[in-house]
Amino acid sequence: MPFSDYKTALVTGASSGIGAAVVERLCKEGLQVHAIARSAGKLDELAARTGCIPHALDVADTKGITRLAKEVPFDVLVNNAGVDRPGSILAADEEGIDLLVDVNLRAVLHLCRLVVPGMAARDRGHVVNISSIAGAYNFNGNSTYHATKAAVSMLSRQLRIDLFGKRVRVTEICPGRVATDIFAHVHGDSQETYKRFVEGFELPQAEDIANAIAFAIAAPIAVNVGHMEITPTLQVPGGLSTTRPQEAKA
């Protein structure tokens, strides 16, 4: 469906990285974009640059997102907000698990619950869920992150079934490593994480993900781009590790 058939969009995790790039792209397409993030200062800067409507709000604040969803009938929903805590389940703590479930999954479920029925009633809309290659492939650590992103992936498929017969499309975007500041949020020390995860690599930029989302939204109404895996050309997921049993300690 052409962008001209949509009027409003809601983007979460909008203060930086992929979220900010999506806001900027959708604003350029003529949509009234509502941007959600916790950082009021960064949102104000984004609003000044793009003309978006900022909402300093935590996506885990169900009452807050409920008020917003009741105020505006959104045609496009981009569930981008996400957090991570490195480490396997062997070293996980209660706070970390609850945080990832609240932000990465519970908020996505609630936003779909609040926004998608209106799309179905209007027979018009597009849901974009940004998951991760971590939802499909296993690699060391980050067990809770893998679990929440796998849930978002399955939710994206299930939404297509829930919306069968309606002109409401669902796109799951699965990024690999992208040149954003998420690594600093996860590991701390932005200079060190930049050197470790970004510097010297050929990586997709946040704008590349935003352009992919715009491509899916701009497709003809008869076309649903359901799944896009976007990774660096020089990155591959997967691998195989084998080890011997540990020797019994005397």
Catalytic residues: 145
Contact 27, 5 (CB under 8 A): no
65-85: b (≥16 Cβ within 10 Å) or e? beebbeebebbbbbbbbbbbb
**Contact residues for 162 (Cβ-Cβ < 8 A; gap 6+):** 116
- Cα(85)–Cα(81) distance, integer angstroms: 14
DSSP 123: T
How many CB atoms within 10 Å of residue 208?
A: 16
How many CB atoms within 10 Å of residue 41?
A: 10
